[in-house]
């Protein structure tokens, strides 16, 4: 069983027993807990031992079960469909394994490594990116949005949309190891991502899944999924992020 799916199950077990949201705190999940999840998924430890591990996470406040009054009353509880999230992760894992995406990140990282004051350049590009009008696509933005990798990701998203019968990924983008956007299916709000919590957690843990949150601009509940991308020897290349719409009905298909 894949680690991403196992981590989904880990959160799902707690969700099922609490019937409210559960969120990982900033101190992260210890490595032994991740190993425990793998052992449980492989049948090497009992359900009781695994539940004890989950209880430890709650006791140590690594996983938090919010009180009822912490959930906005006007929106109530939006239940997570773990089969749907697992399906969505699988689609992004296909892009993580894409050799052309990996090569594009290798080339981008090599290019950035040669630059003087690379982080100042990233900050300047990010400032210009955010200063542009929301509907404006600058020439530099066009190089990121309209390159070959971006087109591959759009085709991938469209393939999943056609197969599933709904928009699975409303947005996909990938960054290099410096946190700068390399390719994206559409315009993002910013260019620099290495200061974002999802980027940091994906780099450190390999997988990040946000809580279900309400997107005011889109008017939908959404979940963000981010995965670390490595080269063939495990060195960090970058991060890929997908934004999904949890309001869309999940329909499994062959």
| Domain-embedded: residue 251 | no
Residues 194 and 111 in one domain: yes
Look at residue 71 and give its three-state secondary structure: coil
Question: Percent of the chain beyond pLDDT 90?
Answer: 50
Residues 102 and 54 in one domain: no
> For residues 169 and 242, is the Cβ–Cβ distance under 8 A?
yes
Q: What angle do CA 88, 247, 73 make, to 5 degrees?
A: 125
The Cβ of residue 158 has, within 10 Å, a number of other Cβ atoms equal to 14
Range of the domain at 44: 3-70
Residues 153 and 118 in one domain: yes
The percent helix, strand, coil of the chain (3-state, each to 5) is 45, 20, 35
Q: Quick: pLDDT tens for 93-129.
A: 999 999 999 999 999 999 999 999 999 999 999 999 9
Residues 37 and 117 in one domain: no
Q: What are phi and psi of 241, to 5 degrees?
A: -125, 140
| Domain-embedded: residue 77 | no
> For residues 209 and 223, is the Cβ–Cβ distance under 8 A?
yes
Tell me, what CATH number does 210's domain have? 3.30.450.20
Residues 58 and 166 in one domain: no
Q: What band does 86 get if pLDDT is binned at 50, 70 and 90?
A: confident
Residues 29 and 88 in one domain: no
| pTM for the full predicted model | 0.70
Q: Is the model's pLDDT at 5 over the cut of 60?
A: no
């Amino acid at each position: 069983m894949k680690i991403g799916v196992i981590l989904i199950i880990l959160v799902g077990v707690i969700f099922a027993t609490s019937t409210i949201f559960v969120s990982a705190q900033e101190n992260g999940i210890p490595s032994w807990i991740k190993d425990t999840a793998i052992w449980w998924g492989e049948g090497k430890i009992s359900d009781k031992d695994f539940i004890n591990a989950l209880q430890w996470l709650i006791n140590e406040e690594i996983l938090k079960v919010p009180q009822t009054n912490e959930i906005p009353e006007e929106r109530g509880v939006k239940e997570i469909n773990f089969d749907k999230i697992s399906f969505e992760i699988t689609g992004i894992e296909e892009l993580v394994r894409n050799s052309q995406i990996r090569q594009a990140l290798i080339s981008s990282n090599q290019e950035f490594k040669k630059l003087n004051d690379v982080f100042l350049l990233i900050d300047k590009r990010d400032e210009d990116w955010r200063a542009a009008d929301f509907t404006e696509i600058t020439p530099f933005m066009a190089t990121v949005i309209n390159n070959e990798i971006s087109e591959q990701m759009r085709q991938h998203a469209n393939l999943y949309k056609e197969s599933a019968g709904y928009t699975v990924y409303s947005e996909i983008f990938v960054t290099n190891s410096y946190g700068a956007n390399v390719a994206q299916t559409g315009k993002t709000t910013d260019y620099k991502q290495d200061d974002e919590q999802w980027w940091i957690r994906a780099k450190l843990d390999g997988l990040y899944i946000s809580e279900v949150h309400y997107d005011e601009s889109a008017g939908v509940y959404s979940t963000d999924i981010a995965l670390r991308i490595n080269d063939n020897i495990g060195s960090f290349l970058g991060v890929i992020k997908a934004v999904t719409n949890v309001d869309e009905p999940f329909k499994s298909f062959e």
